[in-house]
Amino acid sequence: MKRSQLRNALFILIAGLMVMSCAIQRSPITGNKRAYGYTWEEEVQLGQKADKQIQQQYGMYQDEELQQYIEDIGQQVLSKSHMRREDTQQKYKETEFHFRVLNSEVPNAFALPGGYVYVTRGLLAHLENEAQLAVVLGHEIGHVAARHSSQRAFEQQVGQIALIGGAVAGQEILGVPGGDILNLGSQAAQLLFLSYSREDERESDQLGVEYAAMEHYEAAEGAGFFSALKRISQQSGQSIPDWASTHPDPSERENTIPELARQWAEKGYEQNIVDTEEFMRSIDGLVFGKNPREGFARDGTFYHPELEFRFQYPDGWQVINQPTVVGVVSDEQDAVIAMEIDSEADSPQASVRSFLSQEGITVQGQQEQTINGLNAYRATATATGQNNTEYRFYIAALAYGGNIYRFTSYTTAQKYAGYESRFVNSINSFQALTDQNILNMQPARLQAFRTDRSAAFSSFVPQDLPMDLTAEDVAIANQVQLNETIEAGTWIKIPR
């Protein structure tokens, strides 16, 4: 068989496999048939599974009243969406939607297939009213209704040859497989990493405005959040934040959303609901910025006031603090220290041996030890990764405060000798936190109130802001400029 004939035969075979692996179903938006990577039933199952991982990874914000408020607004907007219309297929109509508030200070919102919508407390802190919230929730409902994740999954299947080629190349983002250790290889992460295209985002902007306007919210208000997002971007020195790299520029959305709202007004949809007061009362007391009680890094030491421990990490390394793991990455991004609570193990020895029992791990040595008076167990091991790269691990676990804490530190075998002392020093520095000033630290919380005078916004911002917050941070959260005059009776929110 000639090479060209072989290539054509392979193409036909792969094309056939692609057709077999895709789902041809009607779009909830257009009603027309199109190809998806999953059936709707599979999307619901995937979303349900990934939802548990998202809750575990980010943590839910503990405020039942706020959670119920977001759920109520979400259901109202959902009722106007393509998922609940008269001519919508029954399987879409019957799909239950869930709206959740995540405990993250990063202003963000996203959705998983099958009806799972998330907003962070950081996003809520940067909104001004219910109308803005309705547009954001409508945007995320739009992603689910348009089945954007499933569309992207299908496109990745169609591009499988290129994907296989990339896999063979075996390039790892950090030089070490930190994605797995930092819980980035989960089903949830895979769904989130099916990045929407800019056209997907524009479609969801249109749908978000449509759904909010049909519920009579003043949809043009949604532009205010993108104005704040633009300022956050400028403050961080990026054109747009990393998580929004596939999104249209905030400036574009700031301009297009009022225009989209105007088009719906011309169609006869009165948009007169803003509901600033109800929104402000709902977020009064919201944690603003980082919550030090959940752990924070300062001058080479990681402190956790709630769990009352501390440990040191190498100079210049980046700390990634998540609810399920604290990751510390070297300045060269070629070594990782990851600390997590092992809820499955009942002893340090059991925790370390559980790690060592994984397929592909070769044990070099292990022994019991004591760390600052705490029972501990440590081991060294190796494993072979992509491109036949050999990695070397230093694993140590200890018992403290009713929990088993496990440190997994690793780099390539070639670089291990240069990092070993830093791995050992970190675990050996673990000890009880006794500094009462740190143990008693509390997060900043928003105080929402009406101003009692007309004055520049800066005059309402206290001089001694908590948690390294700046006056500009507060102005951005209120969608105003520091020198802007605030009229008496205006709702504002100030962190205390």
Question: Which residue would you say has higher pLDDT here, 155 or 452?
Answer: 452
Indicate whether 185 pLDDT > 70.
no
User: Do 313 and 428 share a domain, yes or no?
Assistant: yes
Question: Which residue would you say has higher pLDDT here, 83 or 110?
Answer: 83
Percent of the chain with pLDDT over 70: 85
Question: Which residue would you say has higher pLDDT here, 241 or 363?
Answer: 363
Give φ, ψ of 335 to 5 degrees: -150, 150
Alpha-carbon distances of 334 from 301, 418, 426, 459, 476, rounded to whole Å: 20, 11, 17, 47, 36
User: Do 449 and 426 share a domain, yes or no?
Assistant: no
Indicate whether 259 pLDDT > 90.
yes
Indicate whether 37 pLDDT > 70.
yes
The count of other CB atoms within 10 Å of the CB of residue 221 is 26
What's the CATH code of the domain at 410?
A: 3.40.1000.10
The answer to whether position 303 is within a domain reads yes
What's the total number of domains in the chain?
A: 3
pLDDT at 476: 96
Lowest mean pLDDT among 89-98, 154-163, 259-268: 154-163
The one-letter amino acid code at 155 reads E
Runs of H (alpha helix) within 429-470: 436-439
Collect all residues with Cβ–Cβ distance below 8 Å to 169 and sequence separation of at least 6.
Answer: none
Indicate whether 306 pLDDT > 50.
yes
Collect all residues with Cβ–Cβ distance below 8 Å to 146 and sequence separation of at least 6.
Answer: 27, 28, 29, 200, 203, 204, 207
pLDDT at 228: 87
Indicate whether 163 pLDDT > 70.
no
The answer to whether position 104 is within a domain reads yes
CA distance 98 to 103: 16
- CB 274 within 8 Å of CB 264: no
The answer to whether position 5 is within a domain reads no
Domain boundary among 439, 456, 479: 439
Q: Find the domain containing 423 and state its range.
A: 293-439
Confidence of residue 229 (pLDDT cuts 50, 70, 90): confident
User: Do 376 and 463 share a domain, yes or no?
Assistant: no
The answer to whether position 151 is within a domain reads yes
Closest CA to 113 of 143, 84, 136: 143
User: Do 303 and 233 share a domain, yes or no?
Assistant: no
User: Both tokens of residue 423?
Assistant: 């791995």
Q: If phi over 0 gives left and psi between -120 and 50 gives alpha, with beta otherwise, what is residue 383?
A: beta
> Model confidence over 87-144: pLDDT tens digits?
999 999 999 999 999 999 989 898 989 999 999 999 999 999 999 999 999 999 999 9
User: Do 354 and 300 share a domain, yes or no?
Assistant: yes
User: Do 102 and 24 share a domain, yes or no?
Assistant: yes
Indicate whether 314 pLDDT > 70.
yes
User: Do 256 and 316 share a domain, yes or no?
Assistant: no
The answer to whether position 11 is within a domain reads no
Average pLDDT for 253-276: 96
Q: Which residues of 404-413 are buried (b: 16+ CB within 10 A; e: fewer)?
A: bbbbbbbbbe
Confidence of residue 315 (pLDDT cuts 50, 70, 90): very high
The answer to whether position 93 is within a domain reads yes
Lowest mean pLDDT among 12-26, 145-159, 217-231, 411-425: 12-26
pLDDT at 323: 82
The answer to whether position 10 is within a domain reads no
Domain boundary among 233, 254, 283: 283
The answer to whether position 288 is within a domain reads no
Confidence of residue 150 (pLDDT cuts 50, 70, 90): confident
Q: How many CA atoms lie within 13 A of 454 on its CB side?
A: 2
The count of other CB atoms within 10 Å of the CB of residue 160 is 13
pLDDT at 157: 57
Handedness of CA 448, 449, 454, 458 (dihedral sign): negative
Lowest mean pLDDT among 7-11, 113-117, 140-144, 169-173: 169-173
> Model confidence over 343-389: pLDDT tens digits?
999 999 999 999 999 988 999 999 999 999 999 999 999 998 777 88
> Model confidence over 191-214: pLDDT tens digits?
544 557 788 889 999 999 999 999
> Model confidence over 436-485: pLDDT tens digits?
999 999 999 999 999 999 999 999 999 999 888 999 999 999 999 999 99
Percent of the chain with pLDDT over 90: 69
Indicate whether 177 pLDDT > 80.
no
Indicate whether 9 pLDDT > 70.
no
CA distance 117 to 145: 12
Collect all residues with Cβ–Cβ distance below 8 Å to 64 and sequence separation of at least 6.
Answer: none
Confidence of residue 247 (pLDDT cuts 50, 70, 90): low
Q: Tokens 């070099």, residue?
A: 364
Confidence of residue 236 (pLDDT cuts 50, 70, 90): low
Angle at 439 between CA 433 and CA 445, to 5 degrees: 145
Collect all residues with Cβ–Cβ distance below 8 Å to 458 and sequence separation of at least 6.
Answer: 471, 475, 482, 483
- CB 412 within 8 Å of CB 391: yes
pLDDT at 219: 98
User: Do 434 and 448 share a domain, yes or no?
Assistant: no
> Model confidence over 281-295: pLDDT tens digits?
999 999 999 999 999
Strand 403-412 versus strand 491-495 pairing type: unpaired
Indicate whether 297 pLDDT > 80.
yes
User: Do 213 and 246 share a domain, yes or no?
Assistant: yes
User: Both tokens of residue 227?
Assistant: 């104005």
Mean pLDDT of the chain: 86
Domain boundary among 413, 439, 465: 439
User: Do 164 and 37 share a domain, yes or no?
Assistant: yes
Helix or strand holding residue 473 (H, E): helix 471-477
Alpha-carbon distances of 225 from 103, 115, 294, 432, 448, rounded to whole Å: 19, 23, 27, 42, 18
Indicate whether 10 pLDDT > 90.
no
Q: Indicate the DSSP class of residue 112.
A: E
pTM for the model stands at 0.83
User: Do 135 and 248 share a domain, yes or no?
Assistant: yes
Angle at 159 between CA 154 and CA 163, to 5 degrees: 115
User: Do 254 and 393 share a domain, yes or no?
Assistant: no
pLDDT at 72: 98
CA distance 176 to 206: 41
Lowest mean pLDDT among 3-17, 91-105, 169-183: 169-183
